[in-house]
């Protein structure tokens, strides 16, 4: 099974980029299952129902979330109704939507979990370890393979989660910091991992944003509104090759969809 994970979609232009490129890329790379982090699809204001539908039609089998996912109140009912659109599981049971789902992939049941760290990131949620443990316990025997998106700021926290669930979750990928790290790897017990998969949106700025606006905010501390960068759109991702007989990742390839 070839699993493609794609980093944070940072704008509607990033959504449009995937709508034009993703299916062709999936065919070229023989991708069986695709997870996209869509928490910023509406440009720092969460994800809308309309953009979520575009992403799923574009080839995203599951859309994971992050700290901005619930900022779009109009999308809350959509999150309740669509099991393939997730928000971090550790927002708790009172939050709209769900933090995990099981989806079909060529007859296999794939569990996807969206979780958020709690080091140097807001809002500060419950421990992701507690909620991931809870999901794995509740879903035991109800899935064949699993994928975790850990949306977190701190590299150490992502690595700690990766090592804690090595051999228990098949693919673990980090999101939120928007820059693809150089540490894609196979952990000792067979889990495929990368600390941050990158982003999907306009290039040439700072994490998808216009560099002038970001620098001005940092210089003056005045909350100037963000603006998207002006470079061509790119999508960062990693393709993990999973051996369905053993459940271990056997190879991986960082990719950039231009």
Beta bridge partners of 257: 235
pLDDT in tens, 114-167: 999 999 999 999 999 999 999 999 999 999 999 999 999 999 999 999 999 999
From the list 110, 114, 62, 113, the residue with the least C-alpha distance to 85 is 62
pLDDT in tens, 17-27: 999 999 999 99
Residue 176 confidence (pLDDT): 96
Residue 33 confidence (pLDDT): 98
- 192 token code pair: 């495929």
Mean pLDDT across 180-205: 96
Helix (H) or strand (E) holding 157: helix 155-164
Residue 221 confidence (pLDDT): 87
DSSP state of 66: -
Q: How many domains does the chain have?
A: 1
Residue 213 confidence (pLDDT): 83
Q: Dump strand ranges (E) for 209-258.
A: 233-242, 249-257
How many angstroms separate the CA atoms of 123 and 86, rounded? 17
Residue 41 confidence (pLDDT): 92
pTM of the model: 0.95
195 Cβ contact partners less than 8 Å away, ≥ 6 residues apart: 155, 158, 159, 162, 174, 181, 183
Catalytic residues: 68
By percentage, how much of the chain surpasses pLDDT 90?
86
Phi, psi of 19 (to 5 degrees): -65, -25
Mean pLDDT across 74-97: 95
Q: Which long-range contacts (CB under 8 A, 24 or more apart) does 94-101 make?
A: 95/70, 96/70, 97/65, 97/69, 97/70, 99/131, 99/135, 100/135, 100/139, 101/62
Range of the domain at 204: 2-257
How many angstroms separate the CA atoms of 67 and 45, rounded? 10
The answer to whether the beta carbons of residues 104 and 97 sit under 8 Å apart is: no
Residue 223 confidence (pLDDT): 80
CATH classification at residue 47:
3.60.21.10
Bridge pairing between strands 249-257 and 233-242: antiparallel
Q: How far is CA 47 from the centre of its chain?
A: 13
Residue 232 confidence (pLDDT): 93
Mean pLDDT of the chain: 95
Phi, psi of 184 (to 5 degrees): -55, 135
How many angstroms separate the CA atoms of 130 and 37, rounded? 22
Residue 172 confidence (pLDDT): 98
pLDDT in tens, 25-51: 999 999 999 999 999 898 877 899 999
How many angstroms separate the CA atoms of 91 and 221, rounded? 29
Question: Is residue 228 scored above 90 in pLDDT?
Answer: no
Query: Hey, CA dihedral for 212, 43, 87, 125, is it positive or negative?
Result: positive
Mean pLDDT across 55-80: 95
Residue 214 confidence (pLDDT): 85
From the list 61, 62, 79, the residue with the least C-alpha distance to 70 is 79
């Amino acid at each position: 099974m070839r699993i493609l994970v794609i980093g944070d979609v940072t704008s509607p232009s990033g959504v449009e980029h995937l709508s034009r490129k993703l299916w062709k890329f999936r065919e070229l790379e023989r991708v069986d299952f695709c997870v996209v982090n869509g928490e910023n699809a509406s440009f720092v204001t969460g994800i809308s129902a309309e953009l979520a539908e575009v992403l799923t039609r574009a080839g995203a089998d599951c859309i994971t979330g992050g700290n901005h996912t619930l900022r779009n109140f109009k999308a809350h009912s959509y999150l309740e109704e669509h099991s393939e659109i997730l928000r971090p599981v550790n927002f708790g049971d009172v939050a709209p939507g769900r933090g995990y789902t099981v989806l079909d992939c060529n007859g296999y049941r794939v569990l996807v979990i969206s979780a958020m760290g709690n080091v140097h990131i807001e809002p500060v949620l419950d421990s992701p370890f507690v909620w991931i443990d809870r999901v794995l316990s509740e879903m035991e025997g109800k899935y064949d393979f699993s994928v975790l998106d850990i949306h977190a700021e701190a590299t150490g926290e992502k690595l700690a989660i990766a090592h804690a669930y090595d051999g228990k979750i098949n693919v673990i990928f980090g999101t939120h910091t928007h820059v693809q790290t150089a540490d894609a790897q196979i952990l000792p017990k067979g889990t495929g991992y990368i600390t941050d998969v990158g982003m999907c949106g306009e290039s040439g700025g700072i994490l998808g944003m216009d560099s002038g606006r970001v620098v001005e905010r940092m210089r003056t501390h005045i909350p100037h509104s963000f603006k998207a960068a002006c470079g061509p759109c790119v999508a960062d991702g990693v393709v993990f090759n999973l051996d369905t007989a053993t459940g271990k990742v056997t190879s991986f390839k960082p990719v950039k969809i231009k």
